[in-house]
């Protein structure tokens, strides 16, 4: 524990700065360090945390209740890629016109999709019908 003038003198002798770490504490905590380097490392750490948080974004894959097998397989492969990258995948089925009378067909397609993606991701909740959309969110397995 040193006084402020002594700490400033020590910092100047070493060619460094006296950086206030915790000004609210009693007594205030300071450290002798290169301020520019410290600021650079903090900005680098912030940038890294922002970069890693982008991986959790939601991507959407759209299906229809009358989807052909090949189209279904393509959507499954794309969903697997997205889940492997760490993204959440929103699977949605849009019903047009009279298709609303056959929501059960859409639920079957959704169940097939869940089975196809079972090893790569898990559903966060059961499929929900919101207006003309049947949707569900899948998150990657860790």
The pLDDT, as a whole number, for residue 10 is 87
| Same domain flag for 35 and 100 | no
Residue 91 near residue 108 (C-beta atoms within 8 A): no
pTM comes to 0.60
| Same domain flag for 14 and 68 | no
Using the predicted structure, report yes or no on whether residue 47 has a pLDDT greater than 90: no
DSSP conformational letter for 102: G
- 79: tokens are 């969903």
Please give the tally of structural domains in the chain.
2
Gap between the Cα atoms of 106 and 113, Å rounded: 11
| Same domain flag for 135 and 68 | yes
Residue 81 near residue 43 (C-beta atoms within 8 A): no
The pLDDT, as a whole number, for residue 51 is 75
Gap between the Cα atoms of 104 and 110, Å rounded: 10
Residue-number span of the structural domain to which 72 is assigned: 57-140
| Same domain flag for 80 and 42 | no
Q: What is the mean pLDDT of the chain?
A: 89
């Amino acid at each position: 524990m040193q006084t402020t003038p002594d700490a400033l003198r020590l910092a100047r002798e070493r060619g460094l700065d006296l950086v206030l770490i915790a000004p609210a504490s009693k007594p205030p905590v300071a450290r002798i360090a290169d301020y520019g380097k410290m600021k650079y490392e903090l900005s680098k750490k912030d940038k890294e945390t922002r970069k890693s948080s982008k991986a959790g974004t939601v991507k959407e894959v759209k299906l229809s209740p009358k989807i052909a097998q090949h189209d279904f397989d393509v959507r499954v492969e794309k969903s697997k890629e997205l889940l492997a990258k760490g993204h959440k995948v929103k699977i949605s089925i849009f019903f047009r016109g009279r298709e609303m009378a056959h929501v059960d067909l859409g639920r079957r397609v959704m169940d097939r999709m869940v089975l196809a993606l079972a090893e790569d991701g898990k559903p966060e909740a059961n499929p929900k019908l919101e207006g003309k959309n049947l949707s569900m969110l899948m998150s990657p397995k860790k």
